[in-house]
Amino acid sequence: MSGSTGPVWVFAEQNEGSILPVSFELIGQAKKLADELGTSLEVVFLGDAVRDQVQVLFAAGADRVYLGEDPGLKYYQPEMYTEIIVKLAKEHHPEIFLLGSTACGKELAPLVAARLETGLTAHCIDLTLDEEKQLEQIIPAYGGLISIVCPEKRPQMATVAKGVFPKPDTTEHREGELVLLEISDLKQQRIQLIKVVHEEERGVPLESAATVVAGGAGAQGPEGWAKIAGLADELGAALGSTRPPVDEGWVELDRMIGQSGKMIAPELYIGVGVSGELQHMVGIAGAKLMVAVNSEPKAPIFEQVDVGIVDDLQEFLPVLIKKIKEYKTEVA
């Protein structure tokens, strides 16, 4: 299947045996890139007792899966993962290598890129091929979109956040080639896993929420932010944020949406006190219906949403929440 062009690779990240959704999203886009290049789509998959997940990767579009299984690989270990992937890349010369922009991927990708002496673009929001079949890696920066290419070094590497690409359609009985990796000769690693602590999810998860209420600097303080959070609670929605509320300490970092935060694709997005800067708006590009509430009539967000409401959130939100409560009572 492969010609002179090397394969397109995806790192399939797993958490306690379950493959992360972003990995399937990357496989879907990587398959399109591989088909356009006339080459194969290959997946690197590391973990412990995860062989039963390989067929899922074939069903999603992988032509070949490199599987490394070992108790030491159950949880992400930067040195071990890097060692395995770098060795494999030097043997098989991938053209493109894509990873999720997760806590693991953000560390692993630059470690691998440095060892392979190649370029890396972080937190891309789109991946296409230019006229010369080089990977165009699109990122939002400096108030616009920038296209980055790596013309000389290989593999061309990028990390992509969850929610940027849709999950691919699957073919249940699709077949592929399984390559088992020999990893027993790995040296003792300097980093040792001592304990795993599971953090409880607070509120509705942003990435999977059907409705998201996001607040911005227009909240103007904890009191305004409490009203925005109250709207989210009343709607049973996930609470999101732009960067200013995070910097002010009104909300946790894991609630930030956008270029440096999370990508979401809810059925309904309501932005309250959000100005509409590109860094935030790229994170909601997949939203089906977008509503904005802002006291500034010329706020950029009004040019990008389906419904715009010009009003002071301090006055508007209490009325809106009251109406929602009345409606709930009527239909109960």
Over the stretch 286-313, which tens digit does the pLDDT of each residue have? Answer: 889 999 999 999 999 999 999 999 999 9
Type of residue found at 37: L
Q: 114 or 165: which carries more pLDDT confidence?
A: 114
Determine the average pLDDT of the residues in 5-13: 94
Q: What is the pLDDT of residue 188?
A: 59
Which residue, chain included where needed, has tokens 């899922």? 56
CA separation for the pair 259, 141 (Å, rounded): 9
Q: What is the pLDDT of residues 170-183, one digit of tens each?
A: 888 888 999 999 87
Determine the average pLDDT of the residues in 148-167: 87
Local confidence band at 84 (pLDDT 50, 70, 90 cut-offs): very high
CA separation for the pair 313, 227 (Å, rounded): 8
3-state secondary structure of 169: coil
Q: Check pLDDT > 90 for residue 197.
A: no
Q: What is the pLDDT of residue 35?
A: 93
Q: Check pLDDT > 60 for residue 1.
A: no
> Phi/psi of residue 22, each to 5°?
-60, -30
In the predicted model, what is the mean pLDDT of the chain? 89
List Cα–Cα distances, 82 to 30, 183, 195, 258, in angstroms: 21, 12, 21, 28
Long-range contacts from 62-65, C-beta under 8 angstroms, 24+ separation: 62/10, 62/27, 62/176, 63/1, 63/7, 63/34, 63/176, 63/177, 64/7, 64/40, 64/176, 64/177, 64/178, 64/179, 65/12, 65/176, 65/177, 65/178, 65/179
> Which residue, among 199, 200, 211, has the nearest Cα to 240 in the 3D structure?
211
Spatial neighbors of 244 by CB under 8 A, at least 6 apart, are: 216, 217
235 near 262, Cβ under 8 Å?
A: no
Local confidence band at 2 (pLDDT 50, 70, 90 cut-offs): very low
H-helix segments, the chain: 21-37, 54-60, 78-92, 103-116, 222-235, 243-248, 278-281, 313-331
- CB-based burial, 250-260: b 16+ in 10 Å, e otherwise: bbeeebbbbbb
Q: What is the pLDDT of residue 272?
A: 95
CA separation for the pair 231, 321 (Å, rounded): 6
Q: What is the pLDDT of residues 234-289, one digit of tens each?
A: 999 999 999 999 999 999 988 999 877 888 889 999 999 999 888 898 888 888 99
Q: What is the pLDDT of residues 39-64, one digit of tens each?
A: 999 999 999 999 999 999 999 999 99
Determine the average pLDDT of the residues in 85-105: 93
Looking at residue 188, the DSSP 8-state letter turns out to be: P
Determine the average pLDDT of the residues in 5-20: 92
Determine the average pLDDT of the residues in 16-39: 92
Determine the average pLDDT of the residues in 9-29: 93
Q: What is the dihedral of CA 62, 267, 264, 45, to 10 degrees?
A: -20
Q: Check pLDDT > 80 for residue 189.
A: no
Q: 224 or 199: which carries more pLDDT confidence?
A: 224
CA-angle at 33, arms to 135 and 12, nearest 5°: 95
Q: Which domains does the chain have, with CATH numbers?
A: 8-180 (3.40.50.620), 211-331 (3.40.50.1220)
Q: What is the pLDDT of residue 182?
A: 86
Q: What is the pLDDT of residues 202-239, one digit of tens each?
A: 667 788 889 999 999 999 999 999 999 999 999 999 99
Looking at residue 184, the DSSP 8-state letter turns out to be: T
Q: What is the dihedral of CA 305, 306, 307, 312, to 10 degrees?
A: -10
163 near 25, Cβ under 8 Å?
A: yes
Q: What is the pLDDT of residue 185?
A: 59
Q: Check pLDDT > 50 for residue 3.
A: no
